[in-house]
Amino acid sequence: MAGPEANRFILSSHMDHFSWQDGWPITFKTLLGESLFLQEGEQHRRNRKLLRPAFHGRALAGYLETMVEISDRYFKQWEQLGTFAWFPEMKKLTFEIASILSCDYYSSTM
């Protein structure tokens, strides 16, 4: 399956016919946990609807600068460390970016 119609079929109109949890290796599940990406059914629909405004249009425009600032700080820390384990560091970086962006987004909408 390829193209926009297939994408719509798989990701939207018939998504309940596919399992997003079962097709991934355990390492992927460890990395993403119970994220939206691995949720299914009503739980996925509810959480996707809640998160959608933060990932569209005007909200996206302000994200880049914050992501670059946080990433630059982490790059400097990693350079000083010299040797480190990537997985926990990337989890910290990702969590900090997501936390700050979501706080900024939701505080600007209230």
Interval 36-63: pLDDT, tens? 777 788 888 888 888 777 777 777 777 8
Longest CA span, the chain: 49
Contact 100, 66 (CB under 8 A): yes
pTM summary value: 0.52
DSSP 36: G
> Which residue would you say has higher pLDDT here, 110 or 43?
43
